[in-house]
Structure 1
């Protein structure tokens, strides 16, 4: 089981000790470091800034939001970072939700799977650099029809360092996971639970079995973001995770469209999710946080004393996941590496 470091997206400003954390992760032999974006900091600039001080660790976006950039702009950034890092960049993409896509980026949200497929086709065409890039797709037509009529199909001036630069997809529902297995090089689960390993194996198998699937199961990478909190008191450790789950289950999406909530509903927490959402949407965030049961935390996180975490890690090692992506400061990373046996 590999380890990765997730720097996430910023709150009101840059996270403390981020550069030190990245350097410590590389020193400890971590496989990768990842950045994210929502509607504040972007994911590319911090990755380039902090990643510039590294030499070996993989640099990835988890995730770059599709609606934030056109496919060609994303391909340009990917080629640029791959060259600057000496071939260490991984492009992690995600569609986000309608609240952010339509409310922040001013882009249409419908048909996210079709948009994702078309988006990645264009990115790969840019990277292949075999011909001027065109697309007859519904969502990202190139050259753009109408307008001045002067649009020209173009080929990137930059030759990619790797035409097969890896593209990973964030996905939570079974159809999205199957799409990742079909067209991508890896999957980025946010709330993975070993209890649903069979469910996800089936979704992945469906994608791998489709005609023209890009990878086999043995070639496919799965890097799951997993909260790890080491503390002799399990409840106190779980308290560190509860606010994040309350936010995602209760507030990241509308009442009728919250894909994060759906993950926990599949785990059997539908009633708990309904209560968390009711409280959160009513502005009672502390109560929503308190309503997150410890069992729900333990399903998607490793929390508690070192011995407990080591025992539970065995469950994770039997799943499809090959990389645990954790969040911690420099000292916390050392402790996590010790406990999971790095």
Structure 2
């Protein structure tokens, strides 16, 4: 796990799912991140624009910022197709791409894609193994519990530098899997103490894989909202409201994975989930408001930068990817990118 020169995690940008009215607007956020000195731009894929097209455009229009998927789910595309995609994006970006994959959850996989959410951890492990075989350029022959493949081989040259493969995971076993088999791990919905607990799971997984945990690049996806300026009266209230609504939506409306992850960390997420499911959004928001400062960054630029240091200084964390609440406007996104931007050459 590489650290910045100052012992702090580097900063990336986790692009908004649906805040931008056009593809150009989304790519502009990536360009702004590059100009501001962010290390990497991650493109999620849930609803809205697909990540592959967006990342291809970003690879063409940017010059040096790293690019990555966060995350392709392992059910909606085959591993060989994602392997081809990753090889192509690595070529298009001239070696700047990381491929992030993960199982997502039943709410997305079954309801949106119509696929059985079966053996998510095993499927993810096999997916990672197949991706690496695709990247090698050799013929893929694979016999697993979830996949049986024979005869696939790239008809283009394999990448000189294979894209690193990152895995998303929230529970202890999922994080252990990332430590054992992946090049990186994506964490989300973690307090600083919760993240430290999961980092212990990562280290255990690395030990099981007979390697050092330092080989695993760790990224925390952190909801952030910054008001327009330090003298923006009332702006910090709007920023806090945005991250509270964001966390409440994921805890209450996106299945049980986020709820369970927060329950494990000692937060009353089940109460928020039940209130949301019963249609009492105000109660759900009130519950989440009681602990949202442990999971997100919000406020004026000065307040947000100070809050961000709690996460960037966590031992074992390589990168913090600032993520935008689902209700963020274009102005909110711009203010957050600017307010939390690293200082070139010194941050």
- TM-score per shorter chain, which class? 0.7 to 0.9
Residues 176-204 of structure 1 deviation map (CA, whole Å, 9 limit, x = unaligned): 11111111111111212112243122101
Is the CA contact (8 Å cut-off) linking 1:39 and 1:100 kept in structure 2?
Answer: no
Of the three residues 308, 321, 324, the one matched with 1:325 is 321
Moved more, 110-119 or 161-170: 161-170
Residues 1:109 and 2:117 aligned together: yes
Alignment of 1:73-92 (within 5 A): 73-92=81-100
Instruction: Give the Cα–Cα distance (whole angstroms) in 2 for the partners of residues 178 and 209 of structure 1.
Output: 9
Is the CA contact (8 Å cut-off) linking 1:9 and 1:42 kept in structure 2?
Answer: no
Instruction: Give the Cα–Cα distance (whole angstroms) in 1 for the partners of residues 238 and 123 of structure 2.
Output: 42
Q: Secondary structure at the match of 1:160?
A: coil
- Mark the CA change 1:324 to 1:198 in structure 2 (over 3 Å): closer, same or farther: closer
Gaps of 5+ in 2: 1-8, 325-331
Report the alpha carbon displacement of residue 252 of structure 1 after superposing the two structures with TM.
0.5
- Mark the CA change 1:229 to 1:106 in structure 2 (over 3 Å): closer, same or farther: closer
What is the aligned partner in structure 1 of residue 169 from structure 2? Answer: 171
What is the aligned partner in structure 2 of residue 304 from structure 1? Answer: 299
Is the CA contact (8 Å cut-off) linking 2:37 and 2:342 kept in structure 1?
Answer: no
Is the CA contact (8 Å cut-off) linking 1:66 and 1:93 kept in structure 2?
Answer: yes
Residues 1:248 and 2:254 aligned together: no
Of the three residues 182, 201, 213, the one matched with 1:184 is 182
Report the alpha carbon displacement of residue 104 of structure 1 after superposing the two structures with TM.
2.4
Alignment of 1:1-342 (within 5 A): 1-10=9-18, 14=22, 17-130=25-138, 132-143=139-150, 153-162=151-160, 164-213=162-211, 216-231=212-227, 235-253=237-255, 258-270=256-268, 273-294=269-290, 296-316=291-311, 317-326=313-322, 327=324, 329-337=333-341, 342=347
Is the CA contact (8 Å cut-off) linking 2:87 and 2:162 kept in structure 1?
Answer: no
How many residues matched?
323
TM-score normalised to structure 1 length: 0.86
Report the alpha carbon displacement of residue 138 of structure 1 after superposing the two structures with TM.
2.0
TM-score normalised to structure 2 length: 0.85
Instruction: Give the Cα–Cα distance (whole angstroms) in 2 for the partners of residues 96 and 338 of structure 1.
Output: 30
Report the alpha carbon displacement of residue 220 of structure 1 after superposing the two structures with TM.
2.0
Instruction: Give the Cα–Cα distance (whole angstroms) in 1 for the partners of residues 33 and 106 of structure 2.
Output: 34
Is the CA contact (8 Å cut-off) linking 1:310 and 1:339 kept in structure 2?
Answer: no
Instruction: Give the Cα–Cα distance (whole angstroms) in 2 for the partners of residues 84 and 106 of structure 1.
Output: 31
Q: Secondary structure at the match of 2:29?
A: helix
Instruction: Give the Cα–Cα distance (whole angstroms) in 2 for the partners of residues 99 and 332 of structure 1.
Output: 29
Is the CA contact (8 Å cut-off) linking 1:83 and 1:160 kept in structure 2?
Answer: no
With CA pairs under 8 Å and 6+ residues apart, which has the higher RCO, 1 or 2? 2
Gaps of 5+ in 1: 144-152
Report the alpha carbon displacement of residue 174 of structure 1 after superposing the two structures with TM.
0.9
